[in-house]
Amino acid sequence: MPSVFESSANAIPITFASKATWHAIRDTLPSPARQFADANGFAAKPGKCLTLPASDGSIAQVLFGLEDETHKAPDPFRPGALPGLLPPGVYRFANAPHDVRLATLAFALGCYRFGRYRKNEAPDVRLVPPDAVDAADIARMADAAALARDLINMPSNDMGPAELAEAARELATRFGADFNCITGDALEQGFPLIHAVGMASPRAPRLIDISWGDPAHPKVTLVGKGVCFDTGGLDLKPSSGMLIMKKDMGGAANVLALAQMVMDAKLKVRLRVLIPAVENAVAGNAFRPLDVFRSRKGITVEIGNTDAEGRLVLADALALADEEKPDLLVDLGTLTGAARVALGPDLPPFYTNDETLAGEVTAHAKGENDPLWRMPLWPAYDAWLDSKTADINNAPSGGFAGSIICALFLQRFVEHATSWLHVDIYGWTPSAKPGRPEGGECQAARAIYKLLSQRYA
């Protein structure tokens, strides 16, 4: 994404106002501007924008409404609506919004447009970054978010396992990282669950593997679910459930975005990225309900539901990651409808048994306006995974605690990592919000990046 930041001595000022501050701000305006604002009924309603003309017809100033400081839930990303409202030009903040750094980030995120298949040009607006913010870091996060959004928004005919692997290879090449990819039947012995899920598609499954950084640094491994389209397999989804399944590789997209931030910031970590990239298709050789497969870890898995495929491909990848005993093992995936029922599309649950890590994740999620909510790895539910045929069932019958059950399933494949964090993201914004266009979304990556930055900068 082109940089939205620019230096300019003639930048147009944006004045933020709330109902509580509007009258005082109004009184400071020149008389013609005050009359123009009154004639247009501007009252600093949150999200309302008004451009004030100068005597020569140019834009003298922009007024933009925010929530009052006392509002119970002010949106720190409210300024992210500005790029879609402003005429072309270079702007600056004339006064401080509620959170200057998040407002600047929101402005950058709000400039994103997905224009691969039709003319959908990004707004021709740029911002002089406020002195108080780290513009390079904000640009880093906005660029990474654009990568995640682009990958998720891509239709599945142009974003299959091979294309996802190519995107990962390009990222690795850009930062001088090592890239490896195991493809097709070569997965059957070492990664049987990944192979089983992907074998029905004519587009061969893959295990993408990126390594970067000094081997002497702490090991941080990121695992992302890369199901490039999910029909549900033989437990076929209805058409409504399949409609946006191009986003089912959202975990992989966000892991790549997170990796880009880590490498660009040159954090002192030994980074590894693992992405099982598959298409869960329907064919005569598709895996079936009640089939049993021996996982990479040696745990035998009975298939309770072929539509619970994400945890299967993650299981083999987590087992590989765990063999290295990383200091921190993180996995992201668009995994359960149960998480959406519990918390909606904007608030992904996360799971960990590391209390210190949980506290850090919560703090950084709030600080970055990248919402996450901790859910329990409830031990009493672990028995629900029992199978009469195998060691474990991937999707036991019953509709209770679906996101927790998925997390408990994945926990079985993590034994040696010092800390493990699992995040059940949605990866999609159903309707546009300030700084968050409708479509593919970067979730959890910014919060985790800030956590890693604090630990390993």
Residues of the chain with pLDDT under 50: none
- pLDDT one-digit tens code per residue, 270-295: 999 999 999 999 999 999 999 999 99
Q: Is residue 255 classed exposed, middle or buried when 0-12, 13-18 and 19+ CB atoms within 10 A define those classes? A: buried
Tell me, yes or no, if 174 is annotated catalytic. Answer: no
Cβ-based neighbour number of residue 4 at 10 Å? 23
In angstroms, the CA 108 to CA 143 distance is: 9
Residues 6 or more apart whose CB falls under 8 angstroms from that of 341 comprise none
In angstroms, the CA 260 to CA 147 distance is: 9
Cβ atoms 211, 272 nearer than 8 A: yes
pLDDT at 3: 82
- Give the residue from 68, 143, 133 showing the smallest Cα distance to 100: 133
Which residue out of 78, 311, 433, 450 is catalytically annotated? 311
pLDDT at 301: 98
- What is the assigned CATH class of domain 12-133? alpha beta
Label residue 40 left, alpha or beta by phi (over 0 means left) and psi (-120 to 50 means alpha): alpha
In angstroms, the CA 275 to CA 226 distance is: 6
Tell me, yes or no, if 237 is annotated catalytic. Answer: yes
pLDDT at 1: 64
Q: 141-456, superfamily in CATH?
A: Zn peptidases (3.40.630.10)
The alpha-carbon radius of gyration of the chain (Å, integer) is 24
Which residue out of 26, 113, 237, 268 is catalytically annotated? 237
- Give the residue from 68, 74, 77 showing the smallest Cα distance to 17: 68
Q: Which two tokens stand for residue 448?
A: 């985790």
Q: Which two tokens stand for residue 369?
A: 């306006």
What are residue 212's DSSP bridge partners? 271
In angstroms, the CA 135 to CA 138 distance is: 5
In angstroms, the CA 68 to CA 54 distance is: 28
- pLDDT one-digit tens code per residue, 152-196: 999 999 999 999 999 999 999 999 999 999 999 999 999 999 999
pLDDT at 175: 98
Residues of the chain with CATH 3.40.630.10: 141-456
Q: Which two tokens stand for residue 78?
A: 């409210």
Residues 6 or more apart whose CB falls under 8 angstroms from that of 423 comprise 330, 331, 332, 333, 348, 349, 350, 351, 372, 443, 444, 448
pTM: 0.97
Cβ atoms 392, 311 nearer than 8 A: no
What is the sign, positive or negative, of the torsion defined by CA atoms of 103, 108, 109, 112? Answer: positive
